[in-house]
Structure 1
Amino acid sequence: MASGKLSPRQKMINLMYLVFIAMLAMNMSKEVLSAFGFMNEKLVENNSTATEKNKQTLSNLATKAQEQPEKYANLYSTASNVDQLSKDFTAYLEAKKEFFLTEQEDPKDYEAMDQSNLVDEHFFANDKLTQEGQEFVDKISNYKTEIVNLIKELLGEDHPLIAVINKRFDTSDQKKGVGTQPWLNNRYEGFPLISTITNLTSMQMDIKTTQSEIYGTLLGGQLESDVSMSNYKTILIPEKSAFFQGENFKGKVVLGRYDSSLKPSEVVVNGQNITKIEDGGAILDFPAGSVGEREVKGKFVFMENGEPVEIEINSSYAVIPKPNSAVISADKMNVVYRGVPNPMTISIPGIPDNLVTATGTGLNRASGSGKYVMTPSSGREVTIRVSGKLPNGQTVSSSQNFRIKDIPSPVGTIRKQEGYVKMPKTSLENATVGAALPDFDFDLTLNTTGFTIKVPGQSAVVVSGSRMNSQAKKAIAKAKRGEVVIIFDIKSSLVGNSSYKIKNASAVSIEIQ
């Protein structure tokens, strides 16, 4: 490489030489370019299928808009706008693909599409974006903005689809090394032509997916679509290096140097026959399992000279929870209540649940990873201590104190109304007296076991249960219009835990009308 002051273009050329040399050092074969091409073909097929499906959904929505205009007219209008925006943007991307492939004699000769200069010169000039490059970025941003505005207008500012679409069409600067890099440079500058074509097709797939999700939401059901891509490498290639508990493991198993013509007659992984074979690799998709080291064992079977040849699969992957100190939380609030089971989640990120021990007075394990139930008894405070063993044998421990509070006093109710109530005395005679816990974090049910009623000029009457007895009804019958009847000393019990003593509910005042 030449030294001294270099032009930006010469710097770019030098960088391309370095990339080319690095590719040679990694024995990067032409088959990788073909893999991009095959992936592009698959995406094109998927786009065609998705287009037809979206057309059918839009047609169904149009029919509903004609049958029930009050309910579906606005939804169909929004869906039509989404359809038109998506068609325009898809056509723009298709035109870009056609432009980049104009000089290709054979559009399926993917191994010949290893150059990046056509795309680089179209999008970049002197360390800046060309007019076409800026237009490309603007088209993506404008599509995202207009689609999001339509969703906000019909479904609200906080609809979950908004975050999904913003991320899907994000063109903000990308992290690279210790700094950042403009999105267009990060995704398109210096890459082979076939990778750019595949990226554009993938973006068209994103448009179809966005349409499908919006249509599904407008019709009352969220349509989930998951499109993933696997790197074609050797042995076990997970889609990412670690998986969180509850995720599905996704990856590919191939043998030696990747060869798309190599077709196994049988693949067995963890005792299951794998029937989905693509480009010489067995596609895996199964639950990642619990936290810890998980094994992947099995075999490839090939026919050679009429005889089966078995090649062993023996690898592993890690399943980790989510960051490296104990996490202790009461699922309802930061205190625990006496008399009720308080659900809690206790874990130490990075340590499997079976290696975590939690202790505390009244604390017991529940079903589910990291799930516990705290049932405090006496005292005003309880301490929970947690310890766990890291893979290297080191012990991690932590503790936290929780305040113990009693269930608050309920409020008395008459016909489910509290405080000061107006009603005829005939209604009062047949009313039900209750006790409630408004704004309490637990869904508890209280049974009224008794109360006292005082009618002006009459002796107080003690009643068992929640309904007026004959003595109470006689007293109420003597009440005059405008007088205020007081129901107090309302006693109740907790359904499911009758041994816990609930405080008396507040009184209710009833003005006779």
Structure 2
Amino acid sequence: MASGKLSPRQKMINLMYLVFIAMLAMNMSKEVLSAFGFMNEKLVENNSTATQKNNQTLSNLSTKAQEQPEKYADLYKTAITVNKLSKDFTTYLETKKAFLVDGLEDPKNYETMDQSNLVDEHFFLKDSYTEEGQEFLNQINSYKNSILGLLGENNPLSAVINKRFDTSDQKKGIGTQPWLNNRYEGFPLISTVTNLTAMQMDVKTTESEIYSTLLGGQLESDVSMSNYKTILIPEKSAFFQGENFKGKIVLGRYDSSLQPSEVIVNGNKITKIEDGGAVLDFPAGGVGEREVKGKFVFIENGEPVEIEINSTYAVIPKPNSAVISADKMNVVYRGVPNPMTISIPGIPDNLVRATATGLTKTGGSGKYTMTPASGREVTIKVSGTLPNGQTVSSSQNFRIKDIPSPQGTIRKESGHVVMPNSSLVNATVGAELPDFDFDLKLATTGFTIKVLGQGAVVVRGNKMDAAAKKAIAKAKRGDIVTIFDIKSSLVGNSGYKIKNASPVSVEIQ
């Protein structure tokens, strides 16, 4: 463009072309800076929510440690140490962020935060670090080592935390580069602020994970004895006159480590306790509704705490109603065969008849499948013939629900995933139904991919096509690639319309 003799007009055109390219580059840079700023705002908001949740968990543990010190005092002591370490480190990071943005006219004008000299001068000194840079590294390593010391080498979280706060040399090209230089030297100011906020999020996440590990996932339900309720579990649903009632009264959520000091039922002291439940065995009584009343007595902090038992059971001379239960859930799902068991106590299966739209008998012992169609509710009617020829009947309504929205995956990972471009272009986009009661297989039929700074690309199937690969190839390290509008179909029932799966975000490594 600059070789040979050019006319003044051509020189002017060439100069305008260069200016145009520079303006495009400047606009792209501003968009990237704003993206970092918006990401920082979101992380700050998430950190605030995480702090509230962690504080609530710690408060609940404090209450439990006072109520049951033998079980929770040591856990609470460890949690307090973790909280202090996390709070001190987070405060340090916050002061570092405040120092970096001090003096800015508008800390939210992210397009002006493109300079790197402030961070470089603060952390780096020729081929070494300033006192502040070395202190920053020391703070990270001190927090990591202190937490690992509390957890111990055999704790499953140790490896995760060690990697999360790793400050060892990083790969760069064919060699390596010190971690601090690799992450902070020469980067725009807003990216450094965002990195510090992200590290605060790592601290909040670490604190939350440790609390969950310490409490085994049971803190919320164990915080107060008021969260327990007595549950009467009879050996069968109905008893004939003259039979002995057999069953258990348990506490939900009951714990075998909780041993009551006394259990009184209908005026009698119960001495047989199994798995936190009082085992009952007494005459069922006459026909009609019978009461089971009494109390569980626990000792907390030297004082007796009583939990009332107040329940009923029915004694009937003969079967008078059907027992209908869904084997896997309290509702039936559209698009799948729902297994059900239908029977009437005291009546053989061959004398029981059940009818409903979509209901099919699949074998003996009262086994059926319900495949609901349209509507939001289905009624199952059941009738049976007693030995004396008398007919008894009953009915039960079931709610019909659609299969829930699946969870989008990339390389069978969901949520936020980190991987290089080379892995993303070959990865498979999928959809899963986590924790769903049925083992269903979904086939991905299409999705949309959006690379930062580029237009969205619609893809058919579950693999990246040429257009998607071309877009991914332009993504830089740290860019977020979003995969959304993930469509799928139900294998074996393509006529059922599955809702779109949740999106997946991929951070380019």
TM more than 0.5: no
Q: How high is the TM-score relative to the length of structure 1?
A: 0.42
Which one has the largest radius of gyration? 1
